Amino acid sequence: MDFSRLTIKEIHKSLLDRDFSARELAMHYLDRIRKEESEIAAFLSTSEDLALEQAEQTDKKIAAGEELPLLSGVPCAIKDVILVEGLLCTAGSRILENYKAPYDATSIVRLKSQGAVILGKTNLDEFAMGSSTEHSAFKITRNPHDLERVPGGTSGGSAAAIAADECVFSLGSDTGGSIRQPASFCGVVGLKPTYGAVSRYGLMAHASSLDQIGPLARTVQDCEAVFDAIKGRDPKDSTSAEYPSSSTGRGLNNAIIGVPKEYFGEGLESQTREIIEKAIKKAQKAGAKIKEISLPHSEYALSCYYLIVASEASANLARFDGIKYGSSEPAPDLLEVYSKSRGSGFGAEVKRRIMLGTFALSSGYYDAYYLKAQKARTLIKQDFVDAFKTVDFIFTPVSPFPAFKIGEKVDDPLKMYLSDILTVPISLAGVPALSLPVGKDGHLPVGMQIVGKHFDESGIFQISGQLEKILG
């Protein structure tokens, strides 16, 4: 039996038909991980015992003829910033090197209740700050399409693990592009849900007004199956919403697609532009109406985003003080315990953001920086609200360029931040967006960003699924 690259529905059917057992499937993937990891390094830890125990539960259910949820027995990987009870959760940081999660994140409770098989925890930029996974304190993950290149970030391990066929789907988190950009770089599908669509309970906070957990998978349909399992209101996260059942219900044949001119300007590599324009043409051929639109305030999104993110991160990371969580450096007085533990526990990018954020929030500067950024955010969001009065979806590139070389940007924060220029406006607006592989620049995958109205994930899935078919 060839297990490779089966979709979730195919796995579900095969399990019910007893073509293979969940245990065999789990063993296959654990084997794949052992084989691939010396090159790819997508995982920070594996959880063989848990995976086999979960697989056995699925096999028992099948043997007993019980009803089988769609994700039952399906092997997955979880970004190491989402808590899985009893497993290490490092956030890619030295400060949490030995930290074990005391409970399950809500998204994990939901995956477990369906019977998904958790293979391990994936690599990321420390505390989900970065765009290449190079800011991990532990290892550098390589892009399966080109081992000299980054997989993107911060959910680089989650994207690379799928591209290298080390799991069927994964969970990532996206604050400013961390699901969409690695999905684009690794040629997989990734969804950043509407803010509030998925509970953040048990997700280590980066910037709480932006963070969302979301799925990465090989196909749009797989991505949708995972999203359906984890979405919806959770009393443990007051920002999570009751998921509405409405959708635009528009397919490619009757959708109006907005193409914002500001997202095709300076800095966009010509190959990437061509690939995206071709995909848009295909959508048009399939009956979609294409309309040029303007999102004028997106120009300010990057500076606005990095002020807000740093400010929120500086507050969120205050809890890692060497006392409450993680590693602690002994010192004669409390203040020194704080400074020594944080000094040795955090990496350079995290420290940079804590300092920037603390400064932006400090009295005298708050109005000039943080408050101003929040006002700009409102304008950016309003652009999207206005645009969605006349269009159903918005298409843009995910990243101005395909996967870059390891080491190319890691010493230049500004260059690294510029990778996010096309994803952060969407995060600030809180709308959902999916990265769909639509072509290749040489051997490097290129993703298109399909943006929808608040809570119109099902519309996004419908139109992306159609495009996926057309594009082969």
**Binding footprint of ligand GLN on the chain (CB under 6 A):** 128-131, 154, 174-178, 206, 309, 420
- Please count the other Cβ atoms lying within 10 Å of the Cβ belonging to residue 31: 12
Question: What is the closest distance, in whole angstroms, from the C-beta atom of residue 414 to ligand GLN in the complex?
Answer: 12
Alpha-carbon span 174 to 436, nearest angstrom: 16
Contact 183, 151 (CB under 8 A): no
Measured from the CB atom, the residue of 30 and 421 that comes closer to ligand GLN is 421
CA 191 to the chain's CA centroid: 7
Least distance to ligand GLN, CB of residue 32, Å: 27
Least distance between ligand GLN and beta carbon 93 (Å): 14
CA distance 438 to 470: 10
How many residues in the chain?
A: 472
Nearer to ligand GLN, 222 or 420 (CB): 420
> Strand pairing partners for 192?
433
Minimum CB distance to ligand GLN, residue 388 (Å): 23
At closest approach, how far in Å is the CB of 125 from ligand GLN? 7
Return all residues near 48 (Cβ < 8 A) that are at least 6 apart: 30
Nearer to ligand GLN, 112 or 180 (CB): 180
The torsion angle over the Cα atoms of residues 47, 217, 210 and 145, rounded to 10 degrees, is: 90
Q: Report the residue number, 32 or 180, with the smaller CB distance to ligand GLN.
A: 180
> Dihedral through CA 189, CA 438, CA 460, CA 258, nearest 10?
140
Per-residue CA distances from 31 to 3, 21, 28, 45 (Å): 12, 15, 5, 14
- Please state the three-class secondary structure of 69-122 as a single string: CCCCCCEEEEECCECCCCCECCCCCHHHCCCECCCCCHHHHHHHHHCCEEEEEE
Is the previous residue joined to 154 through a cis bond, with omega within 30 degrees of 0? Answer: yes
Which residue's structure tokens are 């203040």?
Answer: 335
CA distance 217 to 183: 9
251-266 in b/e form (b: 16+ CB < 10 A) is bbeebebbbbebbbee
Whole-number minimum distance, CB 363 to ligand GLN, in Å?
A: 25
Min dist CB 403 to ligand GLN, Å, is 14
Q: Smallest distance, Å, CB 177 to ligand GLN?
A: 5
Cβ closer to ligand GLN: 69 or 176? 176
Closest CB 426 distance from ligand GLN, rounded Å: 11
Tokens of 145: 């399409």
Cα–Cα nearest to 143, from 93, 181, 90:
181
Shortest gap between Cβ of 255 and ligand GLN (angstroms)? Answer: 27
Which residue's CB atom is positioned nearest to ligand GLN? 178
Q: Which is nearer to ligand GLN, 203 or 223 (CB)?
A: 203
Closer Cβ to ligand GLN, 79 or 454, answer by number: 79
Q: Shortest approach of ligand GLN to residue 154 CB, angstroms? A: 4
Q: Which pair of structure tokens corresponds to residue 55?
A: 């697989």
Per-residue exposure over 380-392, b if at least 16 CB sit within 10 Å of its own CB, e if not: bbebbeebbeebb
For ligand GLN, which is the closer residue by CB, 115 or 152?
152
| Shortest Å, Cβ 178 to ligand GLN | 3
* Cα–Cα nearest to 177, from 373, 398, 395: 398
